[in-house]
Amino acid sequence: AELIGKLRAPHVTDWSEKIATPDRLLYRRNNFAGPVDELICTALRTELDAEIALSPGFRWGLTTLAGQPLTMEDVLAETAITYPETYVATMTGGQIKDVLEDVCDNLFNVDPYYQQGGDMVRAGGLFYACNPTNAIGSRISELKLDNGKAINAVKRYKVAGWASVNGQQGAPMWDVLAKYLRSGRMFQERLGSGVTLKGVDG
């Protein structure tokens, strides 16, 4: 506790800054998406001017009540990892589907020895259907942009993301999210998951 207090002391003032006050419950604890993930994806798309955003399937972080002020320390609590750099990449529709299929296979492979992790990559600006009971290559279908246009396998799309295992040079995710929250735009936009599950009861 003494060491944490010493290391934290120089940052307390900056971290106490009130950035925004959400009008809804914010949390991150679902397999496919949650309000915090949707907020991060919206921030990525808006601040990096991308059609699609991908965010790692983390499940840790704070739960914030509607009307509870968000501070910079809260933003850090949702994004603080050792590889937080953001990036923008161009990917074909086929590559996007392959990424989703690969992560999905880590979760739902019928052989438990091939199952790795428990959460799907989060996607913003992208709607798709997922059937966890299908084999790899056929779990993900019906991909479309949030404007309703179907994803074309050969067309290239601008994709923003963060937490890449490959080194990146973009701003850390906490700065991107804080900038977006300070703008106040969060509350004019509808947040929501674009995933439809199939073949799974409930």
Helices 173-183 and 72-79, interaxial angle, to 10°?
140
CA nearest neighbour of 135 among 175, 105, 94: 105
Number of H helices, E strands in the chain: 6, 9
The pLDDT, as a whole number, for residue 138 is 97
Cα gap 122→103, rounded to integer Å: 10
pLDDT band at 12 (very low <50, low <70, confident <90, very high): very high
Mean pLDDT of 159-173: 92
For 125: left if phi > 0, alpha if psi spans -120 to 50, otherwise beta; the answer is left
Question: What are the tens digits of pLDDT across the range 22-69?
Answer: 988 999 888 888 899 999 999 999 999 999 999 998 888 999 999 999
Write down how long the chain is: 202
